[in-house]
A and B are shown apart, each in its own frame.
Chain A
Amino acid sequence: MSEELQPTEQIKGSAYRLAQTLPQQLPDGLKKLNSSPQLKEVLGEAFVRVLIAVKQAEHEAYQSVISSWEREHLLLNV
């Protein structure tokens, strides 16, 4: 609102057909947040730094987990 931005046209009907514009994975979102000076200014640099570090650590912890899908589909097949 402070930058007086203009929106795109309103969509009529279903929006399913439109291309995705939001990050599809946590690391993508973190990367985008890290490159937004405006959000850092509004939320505070210190908070954004902590948020990114905490969420990266959580993502790494998640990545180290072996899921039931892997056990189901890979265990005896690859």
Chain B
Amino acid sequence: MSDLETWLKEHRITEVECIVADINGIARGKILPGYKFLRSMQDDGLRLPESIFIQTVTGDYPEEEVIDPVIRDIRLRPDPATIRLVPWYQEPTAQVIADGVHHDGGAVAIAARQVLKRVLALYAESGWRPVVAPELEFFLTKINTDPDYPLEPPIGRSKRPETGRQSYGIEAANEFDPVFEDVYDWCEAQSIDIDTLAHEAGAAQMEINFNHGDPLALADQAFLFKRTLRQAALKHGIYATFMAKPMQNEPGSSMHIHQSVYSIETGENLFAGTEAPYSELFLNHIAGLQRFLPAAMPLFAPNVNSYAGSAAIPTHPSTSNGAGRIARSACACQDRAPRPAGSRTGWPGPTPIPIWPSPPRWPAAGSA
């Protein structure tokens, strides 16, 4: 019996969601009964059209032929390491993230998860093991049934909408305690390793930190977290949005990625200097970000909304090693103990493409 089969039996799973992230991070795939899922593992019967990877956020396709015009199905290969419960359903349901392969066995190169694997293989070739920790900002809002009307802050336990700036406000965050109780419970049930929750500068704008770890595992977790938070908010009659700039007079939401690189061989942090706070490799890393961030913008700021009201953001490295706050830059360097040396890259654009989960917009006035 395969590990997956044992796991499904142990958890009495009746239904399995076999999912992939499309280019916008939208979950797509198939939902099938547990026994059919297991059978598909035997006969390789799980298929999806390759075109889901070129679908736009409006559900259309580019006119230009960017993939083989012959309609091709790809086979889904579930990654057993990603199987989890879907905690918000009544029926015991599992979700598993799949990779796509072509009929000749070759990986589907246009799938975001495959792109990340490709990048990680390049790190491994150099003997490097990258470690990342994403940080996601988002807004809670009232249900908005007519998109012609602007979004409004939701009503929390006080029965009043939030006004004024509540950066790091504890009571303000507790306004939505019932939502976050569910979020923490559901994340635990899915082994989504979230850490700290803090209130950001905007009305009902929060930030969640993930613990550091393997980039592929964290990309999967960030993808599943977005789904989880949206579901938890809906359960409590509000929306959660990761859109970069959902409201004109509120700050935007961003995603930052804390990054460091370790030696596969020795396990040492290659970004930490022996005498200077930073190593030569770290300076190369920052220089690489400075040089390539402009061209990499579509990865970090993939939507028109990522640029709404966008302000000028320099890529000059800033530092947060002293008492001061991080200067507003796309690259912030940290050497403060006990945090290992690393960089914090943030961009003005928001909803990440699931490869390097993207950083959206910087919050106003450098709140971090």
Chain A residues within 8 Å of B, Cβ to Cβ: 1-16, 18-26, 28-30, 32-33, 35-36, 38-39, 42-44, 46-47, 49-59, 61-62, 68
CB pair B298 A1 closer than 8 Å: no
Residue of B nearest to A56 (CB): B62
Contact with A along B138-159 (1 / 0, CB 8 A): 0000000000100000000000
CB pair B295 A8 closer than 8 Å: no
Contact with A along B59-87 (1 / 0, CB 8 A): 01111101100000000000000000000
Interface residues of B in 167-210 (CB under 8 A from A): none
Knowing A33-B295, A33-B296, A53-B66 are in contact, say whether A6-B284 is a contact too (CB < 8 A): yes
Complex contacts, B366 vs chain A, CB 8 Å: 14
Complex contacts, A30 vs chain B, CB 8 Å: 298
Knowing A6-B284, A7-B286, A54-B55 are in contact, say whether A22-B327 is a contact too (CB < 8 A): no
Complex contacts, B128 vs chain A, CB 8 Å: 1
Knowing A22-B348, A23-B297 are in contact, say whether A54-B285 is a contact too (CB < 8 A): no
A20 to B97, CA, bound (A): 39
A25 to B233, CA, bound (A): 31
Minimum CB–CB distance from A13 to chain B (whole Å) comes to 6
Inter-chain contact total with CB atoms closer than 8 Å: 180
Complex contacts, B318 vs chain A, CB 8 Å: 10-11, 15
A-B CB contact pairs (8 Å), 18 listed? A2-B126, A5-B288, A6-B284, A10-B317, A11-B327, A19-B314, A22-B297, A25-B307, A26-B301, A26-B306, A43-B115, A43-B299, A44-B109, A50-B53, A50-B67, A57-B63, A58-B58, A62-B304
Complex contacts, A26 vs chain B, CB 8 Å: 298, 301-304, 306-307
The 7 closest A-B pairs by CB, nearest first: A20-B312, A29-B297, A5-B287, A53-B62, A36-B295, A18-B314, A7-B287
CB pair A61 B284 closer than 8 Å: no
Chain B residues within 8 Å of A, Cβ to Cβ: 23, 53-58, 60-64, 66-67, 109-110, 112, 115, 118-119, 122, 126, 128, 148, 261, 280-281, 283-288, 290-299, 301-304, 306-307, 310, 312-319, 327-330, 333, 347-348, 353, 355, 366
> Which of A8, A21, A25 has most B Cβ within 10 Å?
A21
CB pair B288 A43 closer than 8 Å: no
CB pair A22 B313 closer than 8 Å: yes
Using A7-B317, A57-B62 as known contacts, list a sample of 12 further A-B pairs with CB atoms less than 8 Å apart, ordered by residue number in A: A1-B261, A1-B288, A5-B288, A11-B327, A18-B312, A19-B314, A21-B313, A25-B307, A42-B118, A43-B299, A44-B115, A54-B56
> Which of A14, A52, A68 has most B Cβ within 10 Å?
A14
CB pair A57 B348 closer than 8 Å: no
| Other-chain residue from B64, B109, B302, B304 in contact with A47 (beta carbon distance below 8 A) | B109
Knowing A1-B288, A10-B333 are in contact, say whether A57-B317 is a contact too (CB < 8 A): no
Knowing A5-B291, A38-B292 are in contact, say whether A47-B283 is a contact too (CB < 8 A): no
Knowing A14-B328, A33-B298, A59-B304 are in contact, say whether A22-B292 is a contact too (CB < 8 A): no
A6 to B279, CA, bound (A): 12
CB pair B118 A39 closer than 8 Å: no
Knowing A5-B287, A43-B115 are in contact, say whether A22-B56 is a contact too (CB < 8 A): no
A28 to B128, CA, bound (A): 32
| Other-chain residue from A5, A24, A43, A54 in contact with B284 (beta carbon distance below 8 A) | A5
A53 to B118, CA, bound (A): 21
Knowing A10-B333, A62-B304 are in contact, say whether A19-B327 is a contact too (CB < 8 A): no
Knowing A22-B330, A44-B109, A46-B109 are in contact, say whether A39-B296 is a contact too (CB < 8 A): yes
CB pair A43 B119 closer than 8 Å: yes
CB pair A32 B294 closer than 8 Å: yes
Knowing A29-B301, A32-B297 are in contact, say whether A42-B122 is a contact too (CB < 8 A): yes
